[in-house]
Amino acid sequence: MGKQRPAILPEEGVPEANRSCRRCELSGHGSRMIWGEGDPAASTFVVLDNPGARENREGRPFLCGTRETMQAAAYEAGFEPGSLYVSYLLKCRPRRAYDKENAREICLPYLWEQLKTVDPALVICLGNVVCRSFFEDPGAAVKALRGRVHAVKGYRVITSYHPLAVRRRPVLYRLFLEDWRLGAAQLQKVREG
């Protein structure tokens, strides 16, 4: 397989029942709700903390550093283009200060609902914020969780650093890539079955 270039993944529409959510203060931040991106039928479900920037100042779609770093490692580890579905703990991009714990608690059920619908072979949690919510453990940390496969509510889960942390500290890329390779190996085991 040749070297794949990171790309903008197609955005999945927000389910009708969830479009008008006003349960947390993020609904008033002026950013739209983004349910996920990529193919919802993909075998790998990646969880980030929030959608982040998807458009530049002129409103044109662009590939942010988070997605670029994540996809580069995934493809280098052997994931095929289109094999990832990316979703978020928070479905709206925060634009100012907010009650983080309250927003995460309110938004987490959306993520569980999504996982039931998608039923992926593998979940990859990126960053401490996601790990703490997903593992329902306020002390959870990627540093202690990474490098092995976990079972959480019936899902096969691996963890790694947030792509922005990897960009800020390039020394982490080796570990980030190891985690993606672990994920690729787990998918291979599932396929062989």
- Structural domains in the chain, CATH included, are 25-192 (3.40.470.10)
Confidence at residue 26, expressed as pLDDT on a 0 to 100 scale:
58
Query: How high is the pLDDT of residue 172?
Result: 98
Using the Cα atoms of residue 185, residue 81, residue 56 and residue 31 in order, give the sign of their dihedral: negative
Residues 104, 47 contacting (CB under 8 angstroms): no
Phi and psi torsions of 90, nearest 5°: -100, 135
Tokens of 110: 């959306």
Mean pLDDT by 10 residues, the chain (193 residues): 75 77 61 84 96 80 90 95 92 78 88 95 98 97 98 97 98 98 95 85
DSSP character string of 87-151: EESSSB---S---HHHHHHHHHHHHHHHHHHH--SEEEEESHHHHHHHTT-TT--HHHHTTS-EE
